[in-house]
Amino acid sequence: MQQNIVFSDQALELQATARKIADEYVRPGAAHADKHSEYNMKAAKAVASAGLFRAWIPEAYGGVDAGILSLAIVAEELAKADSGFGVAYAVNALGSFPILLGGTEEQKQKWMPKIAAGETFVAFCLSEKFAGSDASGLAVTAVRDGDHYVINGEKKWTTNGGVADVYTVFAVTDATSKSRRISAFIVEKGTPGFTIEKIEDKMGIRGVPVVETHFNDVRVPVENLIGGREGLGFKHAMMTLDHARPGVAAQAVGASQGALDLANVYACRRVQFGKPISQHQMVQKMLADMAMKTEAARQLTYAAAAAIDVNGPSPANSKMAAMAKCFASDVAMEVATDAVQVFGGYGFMEDYPIAKFFRDAKILQIYEGTNQIQRMVISRHLVREANDLEHLKDFIPSEEQKSYGAQPTTAT
């Protein structure tokens, strides 16, 4: 009943579709994708056929304009079955947001309908070996040469690399500028000089490729400069991450719920000392804490996603997005850890799916901005907001008042 109050019928329909695909295509293929580091293309095609890539894209560009909240609940359902595939789904939003939020009308018309239809997969090329959390420290360059830009350098940890058809790439166009140093470009797979190099052998999310992308005199036409102007790349990157972080939080919520569900079922079946371990108080406390934290993360995630849908980019929504990503991914790691404990010795064995949830959960605390960075973002917003709390200063004794034992003034 509560969901019908919160979500539109369209969102609930997308959620139900995602759950069906998760049950039929994602969960059955999760172990194979993990073991063999293979992309679950069958599930991705099912997602495309069902129109789930249209969720966050406006109708004008082939989407259904369901917003970030619908993106979040779809990602949650898919991640509940396989958190690695949840990443594979949501990274298409991450890669497409620079075009959607900062692109010219011509760029949106050209690329977004293909992304919405699931005909074109996308990747996001921001991080480098020496520029991870510090996005302003990029070294990849793009130099104007007539009607083209020539890109050189290499990117690190490109999720969806190799699978993606289109890459949104951030590069330095003006090394002398501090505020307008970076620009963003659309680079197509197969462009001469653009290659996929090292494919990372990962601890978790093994079903979605993470690679190094190399650029050796890669020539892209001027019309592929996102937004049509140089120097907007950092702004586009920050807007993209603010929009994408509720999606990461949703993946974390799905991972938490998936691990909790497995732990709950196992606890009700595993008999020790003559009764299911779910009847032992220590296990009950663990399950209860896992459930409370997962639900708290879910509601924070939904609130952050809905706020972006209602108000768009804003400092308040940037803070909310960081809070959701940080809290939900911390919860995912805690819940996965406790789920392994509930499974006991079996939780440590790869024969059981809970070990995969544990391995997958860790990346959520790292990628798309480490949780240390999220806490910095949150605290900076809080410090700025202190200016709006000046009315509280009368309730805080000054150093002089404390020295002489005076009491703070109070309102009458």
Q: Which of 211, 166, 199, 196 is nearest to 184 (CA)?
A: 166
The C-alpha atoms of residue 99 and residue 94 are separated, in whole angstroms, by 10
Tell whether the torsion through CA atoms of 163, 79, 314 and 3 is positive or negative.
Answer: positive
Q: Which of 373, 360, 350, 370 is nearest to 256 (CA)?
A: 360
Q: Catalytic: which of 38, 200, 368, 400?
A: 368
- Are 90 and 160 within 8 A, CB to CB? no
Q: Which of 31, 87, 91, 68 is nearest to 361 (CA)?
A: 87
The C-alpha atoms of residue 148 and residue 233 are separated, in whole angstroms, by 17
Q: Which two tokens stand for residue 130?
A: 């020496």
Q: Residue 178, SS3?
A: coil
Q: Which residues contact 265 (CB under 8 A, 6 or more apart)?
A: none
Q: Is residue 188 annotated as part of the catalytic site, yes or no?
A: no
The C-alpha atoms of residue 224 and residue 99 are separated, in whole angstroms, by 10
Q: Which residues contact 229 (CB under 8 A, 6 or more apart)?
A: 183
- Are 167 and 189 within 8 A, CB to CB? yes
* Neighbouring-strand partners of residue 125: 169
Q: Which residues contact 79 (CB under 8 A, 6 or more apart)?
A: 85, 86, 87, 250, 251, 252, 253, 254, 255, 258
Q: Which of 144, 158, 141 is nearest to 367 (CA)?
A: 158
The residues annotated with a catalytic role in the active site are 368
